[in-house]
């Protein structure tokens, strides 16, 4: 587990200023949700924490260590990609263990961690199937399994449920909340879905056009939105 802190973080794509100075602390073990309209910079911010995008200006620390210029594989973070990122020719088990295999872990270690992840995610009966033989929700669980086996201190999710139908999204919300309780890991979760944010978050970060509008618990944002933007996005109608 680790806390994540951003100081004065900016991101520039050429002349385009996408993240305009973000200061944020995510506590150890917290479930933090980034919410905001499409194009406001949620994915960019998450990718900078993951190390998949350079930080143009400012700094990032994870577990108290400066990570601003550290490579993605050395940050102790794992990003959960959407289900389409599974390898179609590999079994569930192979998909889950693939990252560990690439980083030279022993077969015994891979088998052990895959078994733990499969149990947590209720994938045990499906380990020999190929992704094409799975439902959307099962595929998404495999994608989460790939992150779990790396034992990350911080999990990063970018709209992991957006490809799923409404009923499955509700079920997966509950499962992800349970997983968070089980693993007690720090999780940063991006969504543009207010209901997901309200039901899953310990802390919600409302973003608009590359800036934080407000940070607070679901109840704080709901009852005491700072401005009309937050109120319109999350807050109670007044």
Binding site for ligand ADP (CB under 6 A): 13, 16, 18, 36, 38-44
Alpha carbon of residue 42 to chain centroid? 11
Residue closer to ligand ADP by CB (options 34, 155) is 34
Q: Are strands 65-66 and 4-13 parallel, antiparallel or unpaired?
A: unpaired
Token pair belonging to 59: 């700094």
Calpha distance 70→141 (Å, rounded)? 28
Q: How far is CA 20 from CA 7, 11, 40, 141, 211, in A?
A: 11, 7, 11, 34, 6
As given in the structure block, the two tokens for residue 20 are 């305009």
Q: Which does 180 bind (CB under 5 to 8 A by kind): Mg ion, ligand ADP, none?
A: none
Among 164, 190, 148, 220, smallest CA distance to 32 is for 190
Shortest separation between residue 161's beta carbon and Mg ion, angstroms: 13
Q: Which does 38 bind (CB under 5 to 8 A by kind): ligand ADP, Mg ion, none?
A: ligand ADP
Interface residues for Mg ion in 155-194 (CB under 5 A)? Answer: none
Binding site partner of 18, from Mg ion, ligand ADP, none, Cβ cut-off 5-8 A by kind: ligand ADP
> What's the per-residue H, E or C state across 106-147?
CHHHHHHHHHHHHHHCCCHHHCCCCHHHCCHHHHHHHHHHHH
Judged by beta carbon distances under 5 to 8 A according to partner kind, the member of Mg ion, ligand ADP, none in contact with residue 225 is none
Shortest reach from residue 18's CB to ligand ADP, in Å: 4
- 226 counts as binding Mg ion under rule CB under 5 A: no
Q: What's the min distance (Å) between Cβ of 219 and Mg ion?
A: 26
Q: Which is nearer to ligand ADP, 41 or 97 (CB)?
A: 41
Element housing 156 (H / E) = strand 154-158
Taking CB within 5 to 8 Å according to partner kind, which of ligand ADP, Mg ion, none is near residue 232?
none
User: In which residue are the tokens 């790939």 written?
Assistant: 146
35 vs 154 by CB, closer to ligand ADP? 35
Q: Which among Mg ion, ligand ADP, none contacts residue 167 (Cβ within 5 to 8 A by kind)?
A: none
String marking each residue 37-76 x if it binds Mg ion according to CB under 5 A: ------x---------------------------------
Measured distance CA(56)–CA(17) in Å, rounded: 10
């Amino acid at each position: 587990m680790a806390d994540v802190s951003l100081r004065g973080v900016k991101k520039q794509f050429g002349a385009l200023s996408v993240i305009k100075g973000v200061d944020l602390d995510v506590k150890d073990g917290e479930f933090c949700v980034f919410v905001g309209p499409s194009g406001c910079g949620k994915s960019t911010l998450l990718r900078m924490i993951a190390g998949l995008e350079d930080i143009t200006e400012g700094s990032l620390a994870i577990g108290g260590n400066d990570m601003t210029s550290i490579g993605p594989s050395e940050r102790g973070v794992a990003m959960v990609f959407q289900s389409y990122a599974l390898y179609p020719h590999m079994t569930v088990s192979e998909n889950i263990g693939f990252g560990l295999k690439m980083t030279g872990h022993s077969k015994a270690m891979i088998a052990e961690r895959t078994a733990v992840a499969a149990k947590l995610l209720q994938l045990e009966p499906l380990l020999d199937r190929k992704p094409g033989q799975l439902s959307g929700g099962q595929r998404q669980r495999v994608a989460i399994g790939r992150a779990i086996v790396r034992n990350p201190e911080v999990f990063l999710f970018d709209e992991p449920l957006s490809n799923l139908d409404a009923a499955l999204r509700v079920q997966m919300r509950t499962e992800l909340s349970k997983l968070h309780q089980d693993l007690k890991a720090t999780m940063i979760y991006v969504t543009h879905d207010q209901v997901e944010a309200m039901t899953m978050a310990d802390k919600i970060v409302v973003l608009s056009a590359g800036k934080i509008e407000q940070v607070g618990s679901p109840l704080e944002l709901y009852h005491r939105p700072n401005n009309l933007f937050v109120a319109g996005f999350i807050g109670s109608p007044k």
